C-alpha cells in the first residue's frame, strides 16, 4: 500500500444504524483500514485475522514492528475465537467491566497472526463500550485490530476533527462520531499467579479492579522511565508517546507558586486547570480539565496537547494531576508527553 495515494472516504455515524457504520465495516471486511470511534480514543481498525491488512496498520501509523495491537471484539464468542485460555479472574473482570475500557492479555489461538501480536504468544483483547465501535465490529463479522488512530509517538485522538489531518490519505475510511467519552486509552492488564498486573492505567482504575480481584499490582514502568536495556512487560512501554511539538515539564508545587512561575515569563505556556485560566496572562494557558474532576482531565488531555501545538507553544509547564482513580492514567500519559521531566518546588 502506498501511504500517499489512498483516497480516504470520510463518513459519519452517531447511532449504530447509521450508514457510516456499514461503510467502515465493509472496508474492514475487504481488508482495508478504517478509523473508528471508541469510548477511549479513536482507533485505526483492520481485520485482525488478515495479515496484510494488519501490516498496513503498521505502515499507516509508522508504528514500530515489535509493538503489538489490541484485538477488539463485539461479543464473548469472539473472545473464545482468539483466546486460548481464559483465567477465572478474567471471566469475573469481563462480567464487571466489559463492554468497557479494559484490555486483558490472554494466550493466543493460532488464528491470530503473529503480525498482530508482534511475535508474542499472547493477544490483548478489548470489548469496547462505544456502540458505534461495537456495531462496526459486529457488521464486519471479524475481530478487529486497532491501535490508537495517531501517527506513532503523537498524542492519541479523541475528537473527529483531528482524524482527517492525522490520517487522511493514509486510510480508506474515516468514521467521524462523537468525542470519545473517556479520552485516555484502555487499562491494559495481564494475569499473574495470584491476580493481575496493570501494564497501562486507564479508566478502569486500580481501585476498581481491586473490587473484583484481590491482588492488583502496578508495573513499575507505569510511573518511571524505562532504561535502555531494561526488560519490559509490554512493548509499548519502550516507545516515546503522546509527544506534542512543545517541550513539556510537569510542576509539582502549590497553585500559587505555579501561577507565579508561569506569569514570570512570556515564553512559558501553561497546561493547567480550568480554575487557573483567569490568572494567567495573554492566552498562554490551555486547560486540561477542572482540578476537582479527574475524569475531565482524562477527557481533555490529548486535545489540550494538540491545542498547545496549534498555539505555537515551545515551553509548556503542566500542573500535576491527582493520581487516584483515573488520575493515575492521566499522570501516566502526561509523564510520557513530558518525557518524564518533573520539577518539585
Ligand atoms: O483504548 C485503547 O486501548 C485504544 C482503542 C483504539 O481501543 N487502543 C490503543 O491501542 O490504545 P495502542 O496500540 O495504542 O496501545 C496498545 C498497547 C501498547 O502499549 C501495546 O504494547 C500493548 O497494548 N499490548 C498489545 N498487545 C500486547 C501483548 N500481547 N502483551 C503486552 N502488551 C500488549
Ligand atoms: Mg497508542
> Is the minimum distance from the CB of 120 to ligand 1 under 6 angstroms?
yes
Q: How many CB atoms lie within 10 A of CB 194?
A: 10
Domain end position, chosen among 125, 160, 176: 176
The C-alpha cell that represents 241 in the structure block: 508517546
Residues 272 and 150 in one domain: no
Residues 14 and 105 in one domain: yes
pLDDT at 229: 82
Centre of ligand 1 from the C-alpha of residue 124, in Å: 7
Distance from C-alpha of 144 to C-alpha of 82, rounded to nearest angstrom:
11
pLDDT at 226: 85
Give burial (CB, 10 Å; 0-12/13-18/19+) of 15: exposed
Q: Does the residue 132 lie in any domain? A: yes
Distance from C-alpha of 114 to C-alpha of 126, rounded to nearest angstrom:
18
Q: Does the residue 105 lie in any domain? A: yes
Residues 157 and 251 in one domain: no
> Is the minimum distance from the CB of 102 to ligand 1 under 6 angstroms?
no
SS3 285: strand
SS3 331: helix
Q: Does the residue 181 lie in any domain? A: no
> Is the minimum distance from the CB of 46 to ligand 1 under 6 angstroms?
no
CB 238 within 8 A of CB 222: no
Distance from C-alpha of 308 to C-alpha of 267, rounded to nearest angstrom:
13
Q: What is the CATH number of the domain that holds 303?
A: 3.40.50.11030
pLDDT at 281: 80
pLDDT at 203: 98
Centre of ligand 1 from the C-alpha of residue 69, in Å: 5
User: Cα separations (Å) of 73 from 5, 126, 145?
Assistant: 30, 6, 9
Domain end position, chosen among 127, 149, 176: 176
Centre of ligand 1 from the C-alpha of residue 117, in Å: 10
Helix (H) or strand (E) run with residue 176 in it: strand 173-176
Q: Whose CA is nearest to atom 6 of ligand 1?
A: 43
Residues 49 and 165 in one domain: yes
Q: Does the residue 148 lie in any domain? A: yes
Residues 166 and 47 in one domain: yes
Cis peptide before 254 (omega within 30 of 0): no
CB-based contacts of 291, cutoff 8 Å, min separation 6 = 273, 274, 275, 276, 319
Q: Does the residue 165 lie in any domain? A: yes
**Ligand with minimal distance to 43 CA:** 1
CB 69 within 8 A of CB 33: no
Residues 35 and 159 in one domain: yes
Q: Does the residue 196 lie in any domain? A: no
pLDDT at 2: 47
Closest ligand 1 atom, residue 233 Cα: 31
Q: Does the residue 99 lie in any domain? A: yes
**Ligand with minimal distance to 39 CA:** 1
Residues 162 and 21 in one domain: yes
Q: What crossing angle do the helices spanning 294-310 and 327-337 adopt, rounded to 10°?
A: 20
Closest to 243 in 3D by CA, of 160, 147, 336: 336
**Ligand with minimal distance to 237 CA:** 1
Instruction: Please tell me whether the overall predicted TM-score, pTM, comes out greater than 0.75 for this model.
Output: yes
CB-based contacts of 256, cutoff 8 Å, min separation 6 = none
CB-based contacts of 30, cutoff 8 Å, min separation 6 = none
> Is the minimum distance from the CB of 40 to ligand 1 under 6 angstroms?
yes
Q: What is the dihedral of CA 275, 281, 284, 288, to 10 degrees?
A: 0
Q: Domain residues for 122?
A: 9-176
Q: Whose CA is nearest to atom 18 of ligand 1?
A: 236
Domain end position, chosen among 156, 176, 196: 176
* Pairing verdict, β 268-272 and 187-192: unpaired
Length of the chain: 345
- Local structure of residue 279 (DSSP, 8 states): G
Q: Whose CA is nearest to atom 30 of ligand 1?
A: 234
Residues 47 and 171 in one domain: yes
Residues 16 and 150 in one domain: yes
Q: Does the residue 100 lie in any domain? A: yes
Q: How far apart are the first and last CA of the chain?
A: 51
The total number of structural domains in the chain stands at: 2
Q: What is the CATH number of the domain that holds 128?
A: 3.90.870.10
Q: What is the pLDDT along the chain (345 residues), one digit of tens a residue?
A: 445 578 999 999 999 999 999 999 999 999 999 999 999 999 999 999 999 999 999 999 999 999 999 999 999 999 999 999 999 999 999 999 999 999 999 999 999 999 999 999 999 999 999 999 999 999 999 999 999 999 999 999 999 999 999 999 999 999 999 999 999 999 999 999 999 999 999 999 999 999 999 999 999 999 998 887 888 888 888 777 788 889 999 999 999 999 999 999 999 999 999 999 999 987 899 999 999 999 999 999 999 999 999 999 999 999 999 999 999 999 999 999 999 999 999
Amino acid at each position: 500500500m502506498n501511504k500517499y495515494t489512498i483516497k480516504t472516504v470520510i463518513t459519519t455515524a452517531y447511532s449504530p444504524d447509521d450508514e457510516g457504520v456499514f461503510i467502515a465495516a465493509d472496508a474492514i471486511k475487504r481488508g482495508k483500514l478504517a478509523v473508528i470511534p471508541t469510548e477511549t480514543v479513536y482507533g485505526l481498525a483492520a481485520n485482525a485475522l488478515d495479515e496484510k491488512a494488519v501490516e498496513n496498520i503498521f505502515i499507516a501509523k509508522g508504528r514500530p514492528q515489535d509493538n503489538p495491537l489490541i484485538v477488539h471484539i463485539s461479543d464473548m464468542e469472539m473472545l473464545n475465537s482468539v483466546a486460548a485460555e481464559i483465567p477465572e479472574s478474567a471471566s469475573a473482570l469481563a462480567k464487571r467491566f466489559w463492554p468497557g475500557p479494559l484490555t486483558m492479555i490472554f494466550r493466543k489461538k493460532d488464528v491470530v497472526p503473529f503480525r498482530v501480536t508482534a511475535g508474542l504468544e499472547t493477544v490483548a483483547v478489548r470489548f469496547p463500550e462505544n456502540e458505534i465501535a461495537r456495531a462496526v465490529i459486529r457488521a464486519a463479522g471479524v475481530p478487529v485490530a486497532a491501535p490508537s488512530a495517531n501517527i506513532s509517538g503523537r498524542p492519541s485522538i479523541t475528537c473527529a476533527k483531528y482524524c482527517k489531518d492525522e490520517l487522511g490519505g493514509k486510510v480508506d475510511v474515516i468514521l467521524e462520531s462523537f468525542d470519545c467519552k473517556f479520552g485516555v486509552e484502555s487499562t491494559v492488564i495481564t494475569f499473574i499467579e495470584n491476580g493481575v498486573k496493570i501494564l497501562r492505567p486507564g479508566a478502569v482504575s486500580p481501585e476498581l479492579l481491586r473490587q473484583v480481584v484481590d491482588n492488583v499490582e502496578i508495573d513499575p514502568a507505569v510511573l518511571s522511565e524505562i532504561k535502555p536495556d531494561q526488560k519490559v512487560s509490554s512493548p509499548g512501554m519502550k516507545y516515546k508517546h503522546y509527544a506534542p511539538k512543545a517541550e513539556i515539564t510537569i510542576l509539582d508545587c502549590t497553585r500559587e507558586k505555579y501561577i507565579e512561575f508561569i506569569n514570570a515569563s512570556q515564553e512559558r505556556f501553561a497546561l493547567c486547570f480550568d480554575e487557573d485560566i483567569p490568572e494567567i496572562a495573554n492566552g498562554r494557558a490551555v486547560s486540561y480539565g477542572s482540578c476537582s474532576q479527574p475524569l475531565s482531565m482524562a477527557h481533555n488531555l490529548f486535545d489540550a496537547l494538540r491545542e498547545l501545538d496549534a498555539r505555537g507553544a515551545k515551553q509548556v509547564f503542566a500542573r500535576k494531576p491527582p493520581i487516584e482513580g483515573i488520575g493515575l492514567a492521566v499522570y501516566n500519559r502526561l509523564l510520557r508527553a513530558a518525557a518524564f521531566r518533573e520539577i518539585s518546588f
